[in-house]
Amino acid sequence: MSTDPNCIFCKIVAGQIPSRKVYEDDELLVFHDIAPWAPVHLLVIPKQHIATMYDTGPQHAALLGRMTALAPRLMRDLGVANGFRIVVNTGPDGGQEVQHVHMHVMGGPRPWSKG
Ligand code: AMP
Ligand code: ZN
């Protein structure tokens, strides 16, 4: 599995940096965002290091599908029953700050700090 020793999310996968985990399997990890925009703000990441969505292709369709399919299940488990947003920031113009693919899943009662 590809990892980047300088990547903060790879360090979270390796347990070198703590996180508030909500879900984990062989391929995926989900944890709470450290600076939430909404009452519930999760980050869904692949355990393998993939820098951006530009680095994904048809071979990642199943992985990306599993990431997406987790969102409603986890939000429901966390009591978010009135709606949520999924955001994947990609590249400089997309506002991506951490160069490891991650899906923001945000929900809970409004107002939210962003969006
Ligand atoms: P983006 O701008 O899409 O790259 O988002 C990166 C997100 O990662 C931001 O919402 C940060 O708050 C979040 N983040 C950065 N470091 C950590 C960390 N150690 N634990 C949890 N979330 C983090
Ligand atoms: Zn990484």
Per-residue pLDDT of the chain (115 residues; tens, 9 = 90+): 899 999 999 999 999 999 999 999 999 999 999 999 999 999 999 999 999 999 999 999 999 999 999 999 999 999 999 999 999 999 999 999 999 999 999 999 999 998 6
Confirm or reject: Cβ of 8 under 6 Å from ligand 1.
yes
Cβ-contact 98, 9 below 8 angstroms: yes
CA torsion, points 74, 79, 84, 87, in degrees to nearest 10?
-40
Per-residue pLDDT at 1:
86
Confirm or reject: Cβ of 111 under 6 Å from ligand 1.
no
* Sequence-ordered list of residues with C-beta below 8 angstroms from that of 77, at least 6 positions apart, any chain: none
Among protein residues, the one whose CA lies closest to atom 20 of ligand 1: 34
> What is the rounded CA–CA span in Å between residue 86 and residue 79?
17
Q: Which residues are catalytic?
A: 102
* Closest atom of ligand 1 relative to the 35 alpha carbon: 12
Candidate CATH numbers 3.40.50.720, 3.40.50.800, 3.30.428.10, 1.20.1300.10; the one for domain 8-107: 3.30.428.10
Per-residue pLDDT at 114:
85
Per-residue pLDDT at 112:
96
Per-residue pLDDT at 18:
98
